[in-house]
Amino acid sequence: MRVQEAAFSPDQLQRSLPAAGAVVTFTGNVRDVGAGGAVDALQLEHYAGMTEHSLQAIAEEAAARWVLTAAHVVHRVGRLDAGEAIVWVGVCAAHRAEAFAACEFIMDALKTRAPFWKKEHGPQGARWVDARASDVARAQRWQLTRTGDANGSPGG
Amino acid sequence: MLRVLFFARLREQLGCESLELASEPGIDSLAALRAALSERGPVWKEALADANLLAAVNQSLAEPGTPLVSGDEVAFFPPVTGG
């Protein structure tokens, strides 16, 4: 788990993962448009300390739920320009079902539980990003399914 | 003594990043602390009335009934928007 101000290279992070039958990675980038209009940059605030604990707990939950050989998360804080990578998740497992499911679970949990807050900066000024009900719904799906049910993937 | 932190939009609304409160017998839960902070003024009352606010005790997400003891670190913040 890493929380850092510095930019990172998703390619380089992927190369750092151990060899595995299945490798699933996710990269989230800063969009150039938000609910309030054009976005030039984001300011990412976080709760130092709790952020790291929270990401660690999420990765441990994933490792308890699926058989994984690696689960890594890198998240940036501070100022990011549109187009820059903000979050990266890399999961390794023997087979794809576990790797896909765990990667999605980690992102859904991070979106609703890890204490980060985005403020968009654009031509209209600055505004805090509102949490989305759809993110909460996505995260709740994982509470309805347990390992063993269709590879632990959310139903519906 | 309780250490209380505020983040993001809530921090800006309150104009307060952190404060320390002497432990008082009545402030024995997260809900009691929130009620006590709401008495600090109209801005506090309005901001802390937001039903969507989340809270953490000692860096773990917590519920209104979570008990508090001296030395705890408590944080209030809006729903998170990382990723």
Largest Cα–Cα separation, chain B? 40
CB contacts under 8 A, A 64-83 vs B, are 75
Q: Which of B64, B60, B63, B3 is nearest to A115 (CA)?
A: B60
- pLDDT, one tens digit per residue, over A98-120 is 999 999 999 999 999 999 999 99
Any B CB within 8 A of A36 CB = no
Percent of chain A beyond pLDDT 70?
A: 92
Q: What is the mean pLDDT of residues A38-50?
A: 97
Neighbours of A71 (CB within 10 A): 24
Any A CB within 8 A of B83 CB = yes
CB pairs under 8 A between A and B: 71
Residues of chain A in contact with residue B75, where contact means CB-CB under 8 angstroms, are 47, 50, 115
- pLDDT, one tens digit per residue, over B12-40 is 999 999 999 987 889 999 999 999 999 99
**How long is chain A?**
156
Q: What is the mean pLDDT of residues B50-72?
A: 96
Residues of chain B in contact with residue A75, where contact means CB-CB under 8 angstroms, are 82-83
Decide if A152 contacts A145 (C-beta within 8 A).
yes
Q: What is the mean pLDDT of residues A35-50?
A: 95
Locus of tokens 């689960």: A71
Q: Where are the beta strands (DSSP E) in B22-78?
A: 54-57, 60-61, 73-77
Rounded Cα gap, residues B59 and B74, in angstroms: 7
| Minimum CA–CA partner of A44 in chain B | B82
For the entire predicted model, the pTM comes to 0.93
Any B CB within 8 A of A137 CB = no
Residue from A47, A104, A135 whose CB has the most chain B CBs within 10 Å, to mutate: A47
CB contacts under 8 A, B 15-74 vs A, are 52, 56, 59-61
Residues 6+ apart with CB under 8 A from B8: A45, A117, A119, A128, B77, B78
What per-residue confidence (pLDDT) applies to A35?
Answer: 87
Record: contact A117-B59, CB cut-off 8 A: no
The complex's ipTM works out to 0.95
Decide if A34 contacts A65 (C-beta within 8 A).
no
Record: contact B9-A87, CB cut-off 8 A: no
Record: contact B9-A131, CB cut-off 8 A: no
Give the DSSP H/E element, type plus range, for residue A132: none
